[in-house]
Amino acid sequence: MSERLQASWQRSQEYGVSVEEVEPVFAGTFDQESLFFQCGREVLTDLHKTLAAEPISLMLTDADGLVLNRLSGDHSLLRALDAVHLAPGFAYSERETGTNGLGLALADRAPTLVRAEEHYAQSLCTYTCAAVPVLDPLTGRLEGSVNLTTWYKSSSELLLALAQSAASNTTALMLARSQGRSPRPAPRGEVFRVESARLEPGSGTLRSLSTAWTGALTLTKQAFAAGRVVAAVGEAGSGRATLLAQGERETRPRERILAASPPAPQDVEAWLSLWTPELGKPHTAVVLCDVDVLPAWVAERLRDLIHSVQGPVPFSMTAERFEDIPAALAALVDTVVPVPPLRDRSGDVLPLARYAARRARGRDVEFTAAAQRALTDYAWPGNVEQLHRVVKVVAGRTDVIDVRHLPGELRSGPSHRLSSIERFERDEIIRVLGRPGVSMKDAADELGMSRATIYRKIAQYGIRTAQ
């Protein structure tokens, strides 16, 4: 087995992926108007015409491994793929299903062929999969992948070459049509997932976090050990679901965690049908995320389903405020654990930032002293999710993160609420001063200001410079 496959198997084990079968991870809706999807679908449709008699399934996935479409003329293959949930609407990233062709291609951003027994889940060992990532030809952003799947006994020598050709043609078509591209529209309907909790390797195992976090974790573990139902409450993005999942892992290490996020109204029945069969399985815990946005009738259905299961069902839930949890579910809660926002545990910022950067870059990333001050001084209204998002973008560009690499809002100190013109002016000053080797005189000339005005604006906006 190659080093890439060995590393993928190790990650799969750390993610807690089942080695026996693929557990369904369903997402509701996706953007069908994106340039990638439109071009990829056209390329695969043309390729399918030449392969209609072959036992091959052609698919597009998004950057998260969500299967967007599927083409095949072999109905027995399609039925078999349905049985392992390799179908539109289901997620197939490495974190959800372990080592597989498209998951590894997305994880490593490299063309990948995974044969039969090289798959992590035994239920996938009857297939061979070839996948190639597709990058936006203008921005370099990972858009998704082209995936070709066939029976493991079928000839697979040309499978990867076909996938590479389809991916290359998709990129070329995207480039040809990129002129005049309009902004990507918002997805139709809310995307949701029903999934085994995706604990990254090391996620929830950072031992150097603040006492505020470890105190909340201790309270959670004590409640789980006593068989209580826990509601983790706090601001969105603060790590409520991570806290519950970590508490489950450390209290009942053999537990498999099923996490469910709220569905769009039209997807409620599919949502319920996917995760409720898991309730009665031994060693399965359930985390209901964002229950405060569920309609009362859906909450009542959930309560009834939980009560219908014979024996105890380890489950917990998250919400912003306990008062907003629907009464049907609030009545089940035994313990409420407040999860502090990131601004109240500034000591967690740098450990979390370093971890996010290492994940994004694949190796340790250095933060300059100025960048560390900017990160720890910022209020992080979007909490840990915002921190991970910012660091992921910046770490993708450099091995040494300096303050000049950070977004404008992190590089200006506390001040009054800025107008649109003030924000534009602040960001322009930051952009110009952030270029290596730019002097105040150079910046003054480019911005059409005097040096005295620039110094005054720096003080007014609380801009931090790398000097």
Question: Mean pLDDT over residues 223-248, rounded?
Answer: 92
Per DSSP, which regions of 281-439 are E strands? Answer: 284-288, 315-319, 335-338, 366-367, 400-401
- Name the residue ranges covered by the structural domains of the chain: 3-176, 193-340, 344-461
Q: Give the residue among 136, 141, 193, 195 at the shortest CA–CA distance from 170.
A: 136
Q: Which residue has the higher pLDDT, 208 or 337?
A: 337
State the CB neighbour count (10 A cutoff) for residue 27: 23
For the chain, the average pLDDT equals: 83
Domain pair 3-176 / 344-461, same fold: no
- Identify residue 209 by its one-letter amino acid code: L
Predicted confidence at residue 411, as pLDDT, reads 65
Which of 5-9, 179-183, 294-298, 434-438 is the least confident region?
179-183
- What's the CA gap between 121 and 151, in Å, rounded? 15
pLDDT in tens, 293-303: 888 888 888 88
Q: Which residues of 347-356 are buried (b: 16+ CB within 10 A; e: fewer)?
A: ebbbebbbbb
Burial per residue of 147-181, b for 16 or more beta-carbon CB atoms within 10 angstroms, e otherwise: bbbbbbeeebeebbebbbebbebbbebbeeeeeee
**Token pair belonging to 155:** 């000839």
Q: What is the DSSP string of 195-207?
A: EE--PPTTTT--T
For the stretch 42-75, pLDDT in tens is 999 999 988 888 899 999 999 989 999 999 999 9
Would you place residue 184 in the very low, low, confident or very high pLDDT band (cuts 50, 70, 90)?
very low
User: Residue 230: which of 156, 309, 141, 291 has the closest Cα?
Assistant: 291
The pLDDT of residue 351 is 92
DSSP class of 255? P
* pLDDT score at 418: 56
pLDDT, greater one: 277 or 262:
262
Percent of the chain having pLDDT more than 90? Answer: 38
Q: What is the pLDDT of residue 412?
A: 59
CATH 1.10.8.60 is held by the domain 344-461: yes
Rounded Cα distance, 413 and 430, in Å:
12
Cβ count near 403 (within 10 Å) = 23
CATH number, domain 193-340, options 3.40.50.300, 3.40.50.2000, 3.40.605.10, 3.10.129.10: 3.40.50.300
pLDDT of res. 109: 86
Residue 201's pLDDT is 35
Nearest Cα to 120, choosing from 101, 98, 149?
A: 98
Cα–Cα nearest to 400, from 354, 432, 435: 354
Average pLDDT over residues 31-42: 88
Question: CB neighbours (10 Å) of residue 289?
Answer: 20
Q: What is the pLDDT of residue 193?
A: 44
Q: Mean pLDDT, to the nearest integer, of 160-189?
A: 73
Name residues whose C-beta falls within 8 Å of residue 204's C-beta, 6 or more positions apart in sequence: 242, 243, 245, 246, 249
Predicted local confidence at residue 16, as pLDDT: 86
* CA 348 – CA 341 distance, rounded (Å): 10
pLDDT digits (tens, 9 = 90+) for 348-400: 999 999 988 888 887 888 999 989 988 988 888 889 988 988 998 888 888 89
**Lowest-pLDDT range, 12-26, 359-373, 426-440?**
426-440
Name the least confident of 160-169, 171-180, 292-301, 396-405. 171-180
Q: What does the pLDDT look like over 185-203, one tens digit per residue?
A: 433 333 344 444 444 333 4
- What pTM does this model have? 0.54
193 beta partners: 27
Q: Which CATH number fits domain 3-176: 3.10.180.10, 3.30.56.10, 2.60.120.10, 3.30.450.40?
A: 3.30.450.40
Contact (CB, 8 A) for 65 and 94: yes
